Amino acid sequence: MPNHPVPVPSSVLAALKNKTIHLSAAKMIHSLFLVNASGDIFLEKHWKSVVSRSVCDYFFEALERATEPENVPPVIPTPHHYLINVLRHRIYFVAVIQSEVPPLFVIEFLHRVVDTFQDYFGVCTEAAIKDNVVVVYELLEEMLDNGFPLATESNILKELIKPPTILRTVVNTITGSTNVGEQLPTGQLSVVPWRRTGVKYTNNEAYFDVIEEIDAIIDKSGSTITAEIQGVIDACVKLTGMPDLTLSFMNPRLLDDVSFHPCVRFKRWEAERILSFIPPDGNFRLLSYHVSSQNLVAIPVYVKHNISFREGSSQGRFELTLGPKQTMGKAVESVLVSSQLPRGVLNANLNPSQGTYTFDPVTKLLSWDVGKINPQKLPSLKGSMSLQAGASKPDENPTINIQFKIQQLAISGLKVNRLDMYGEKYKPFKGIKYMTKAGKFQVRT
């Protein structure tokens, strides 16, 4: 009879009653709350005793105080707990902790959770999380044990809990099989925890994308205040068995500061500047690097601008022209210009020579989707801005943020020399792609 209490030896019960339950300051992550943009908690998970969701009130207070969503402080102390939150995809992941813990530990973990969700569901939105709440729960259960990270490696998780696909859902309902693995993932115990054994592909392929981002601040006169290149090599490796890859560069000295996926043999890199690794299966970030700051950074675009407000007049002039510069002959594509115009601007009446622009009178955000820059006919955006009547001239000109892409070019000049595979017999298909993007590319006007 389910409701009937189980007979327990009375002596044990008596002993129990005398014992006060002491809750020591348990470390690490206690609970997790997911809060959406409108400030509703839509998911909660507790790894230890339940913490009432009212603890989030402190978070909401901070949220109210913040002018922008990003301005919520990542660490919020409350009388009995500490809240550490990260904001991604307009969802706040609020972790509740009770005692001293390196805050980056929690932050890094939360980001890893988001990455995992993204990996599993394609997107990490409130809807996706709600639709897959069971998988989410299973994942969170595996990722933390008693608040301490247990399995965060995506390939291990995928063996434990298979990502939902439509096909699998259908199959599962018919066959009654489950999404949950019954065996300890092979990676969990191996020296290469990032790779599972028994990987098989009919087409063996390894693709590497060298993606560089330029972070720059350009001043009014067009001179570079600061510019640096941050690069990553993202890989998509689908190779059978246990391949051992080496990747060498023509000019490894360019790489100033690197961080690796755990698979990369650090000592080999130290000694020979060669990346030697047994790759994880599928997509992963092989390394990220910083190009040494001594090297001059080529700035691929320039901006000519004339944004002015006249004292006393309710009109302002806006002129912007973009042009290519140091692009090594490659086309600058997917150009997007955005700028936060001063608060006094009521509306903008502009005329783009190409592309489309939008101006949001509420947020004062101007964005101009330029597309590709044609060096013969430079794209420009000209027109006037109307200001609030009687308002004084804004004392700062807006900053212009530029996004762009340049295909087949690594702006630092980094070049992969060769990619070799050992340990397996077959010949894989190898591909390397280069791309340069704007990172935080700002022009002050």
Partner 1 sequence: MLGMSANSVSYNEQSSVESGVDAAQENSSIPASSSGGLFSADYKKNEDLKEMLESSKESLKLEAMKRIVGLIAKGKNASELFPAVVKNVASKNIELKKLVYVYLVRYAEEQQDLALLSISTFQRALKDPNQLIRASALRVLSSIRVPIIVPIMMLSIKEASTDLSPYVRKTAAHAIQKLYSLDPDQKEHLIEVIEKLLKDKSTLVAGSVVMAFEEVCPDRIDLIHKNYRKLCNLLVDVEEWGQVVIIHMLTRYARTQFVSPWREDAVFDENSEKAFYDSEEERRVEQSKPYIMDPDHRLLLRNTKPLLQSRNTAVVMAVSQLYWHLAPTHELSIITKSLVRLLRSHREVQYIVLQNIATMSIQRKGMFEPFMKSFYVRSTDATHIKTLKLEILTNLANEANISTILREFQTYVKSQDKAFAAATIQAIGRCATNISEVTDTCLNGLVLLLSNRDETVVAESVVVIKKLLQTQPSQHSDIIKHMAKLFDNITVSMARASILWLMGEYCEHVPKIAPDVLRKMAKTFTSEEDIVKLQTVNLAAKLYLTNSKQTKLLTQYILNLGKYDQSYDIRDRTRFIRQLIVPNEKSGALSKYARRILMAPKPAPVLQSAFKDRDRFQLGTLSHSLNSQANGYLELSDWPAVAPDQSVRIVEVVEPVKEAGAPVFGKSKPGKSDEKFYSDSEEEEEEEEEGSSSEDSSSSSSEESESESESEENSDDSNKSSSSQSDSEKKKKTLKNKKLQQQKPDSKDRKQKNGSAVKGESRSESESASESSSSESSSESGSELDSDSDSGTDQKKNTRSKPVQSKPVTTQVEKKEVSLLDLDDFSPAAVTTPKSSILSPSLLSDLQGLSISPTASALQASSPVFVPETSRELLHRMTGKGLSAQYRFTRQPCIYGNSMVSLQLTLSNSSDQALENIHISEKSSTGQNIHRFNAIERLEPQASVTVSMGVDFNDSTQAANFQLCTKEDEFSVSIQPAVGELLLPITMSEADFTKEQSKLVGMNESSATITMTPENVSSQSVNRKVVSVANLGVIPSSQENIHRFAGKTVSSGCLVLVSVALKDPDAVITINTENTVMASMLLRQFKTALTNSGP
Interface positions, 69-128, toward partner 1 (CB under 8 A): 70-71, 73-75, 77, 82, 84-88, 97-105, 107-111
Residues 384-413 that bind partner 1 (CB under 8 A): 392, 395-396, 398-399, 401
- Which of 165, 169, 205, 226 touches partner 1 (CB under 8 A)? 226
Show Cβ contacts of residue 408 under 8 Å, excluding neighbours closer than 6 positions.
330, 433, 434, 435
Q: What is the 3-state secondary structure (H, E, C) of 56-102?
A: HHHHHHHHHHCCCHHHCCCEEECCCCEEEEEEECCEEEEEEECCCCC
Q: Least CB distance from residue 26 to partner 1, whole Å?
A: 5
Q: Least CB distance from residue 10 to partner 1, whole Å?
A: 11
Q: Which residue, 411, 410, 404, is CA-closest to 296?
A: 411
Query: Among residues 83 and 322, whose Cβ is nearest to partner 1?
Result: 83
- Which of 257, 326, 328, 408 touches partner 1 (CB under 8 A)? 257
Query: Among residues 14 and 203, whose Cβ is nearest to partner 1?
Result: 14
Show Cβ contacts of residue 389 under 8 Å, excluding neighbours closer than 6 positions.
314
Q: Least CB distance from residue 264 to partner 1, whole Å?
A: 9
CA distances from 419 to 202, 230, 276, 284, 288 (A): 20, 22, 10, 17, 18
Q: Least CB distance from residue 351 to partner 1, whole Å?
A: 25
Query: Among residues 324 and 441, whose Cβ is nearest to partner 1?
Result: 441
Query: Among residues 241 and 331, whose Cβ is nearest to partner 1?
Result: 241
Q: Least CB distance from residue 228 to partner 1, whole Å?
A: 7
Residues 311-340 that bind partner 1 (CB under 8 A): 340
- Which of 280, 342, 379, 428 touches partner 1 (CB under 8 A)? 342
Query: Among residues 276 and 354, whose Cβ is nearest to partner 1?
Result: 276
How far is CA 97 from its chain centroid?
Answer: 23
- Per-residue string for binding with partner 1, 23-62, x by CB under 8 A? xxxxxx------------xxxxxx-xxx--x---------
Query: Among residues 25 and 362, whose Cβ is nearest to partner 1?
Result: 25
- Which of 10, 38, 64, 67 touches partner 1 (CB under 8 A)? 67
Query: Among residues 57 and 375, whose Cβ is nearest to partner 1?
Result: 57
Query: Among residues 2 and 312, whose Cβ is nearest to partner 1?
Result: 2
- Which of 36, 188, 240, 353 touches partner 1 (CB under 8 A)? 188
- Per-residue string for binding with partner 1, 128-167, x by CB under 8 A? -----xx-xxx--x---xx-xxx-x---------------
Stretch that binds partner 1, among 116-124, 254-262, 315-323, 375-383 (CB under 8 A): 254-262
Query: Among residues 222 and 431, whose Cβ is nearest to partner 1?
Result: 222
Residues 343-382 that bind partner 1 (CB under 8 A): 343
Q: How many residues bind partner 1 (CB under 8 A)?
A: 127
Residues 411-430 that bind partner 1 (CB under 8 A): 422-423
Residues 265-294 that bind partner 1 (CB under 8 A): 265-268, 270-272, 278, 285, 288, 290, 293
Q: Least CB distance from residue 86 to partner 1, whole Å?
A: 5
Q: Given strand 41-46, what is the order of strands in its sheet?
A: 41-46, 29-35, 91-97, 82-88, 75-77
Q: Least CB distance from residue 289 to partner 1, whole Å?
A: 9
**Cβ(444)–Cβ(217) below 8 Å:** yes
Stretch that binds partner 1, among 65-73, 199-207, 352-360, 375-383 (CB under 8 A): 65-73
Q: Which two tokens stand for residue 440?
A: 């935080």
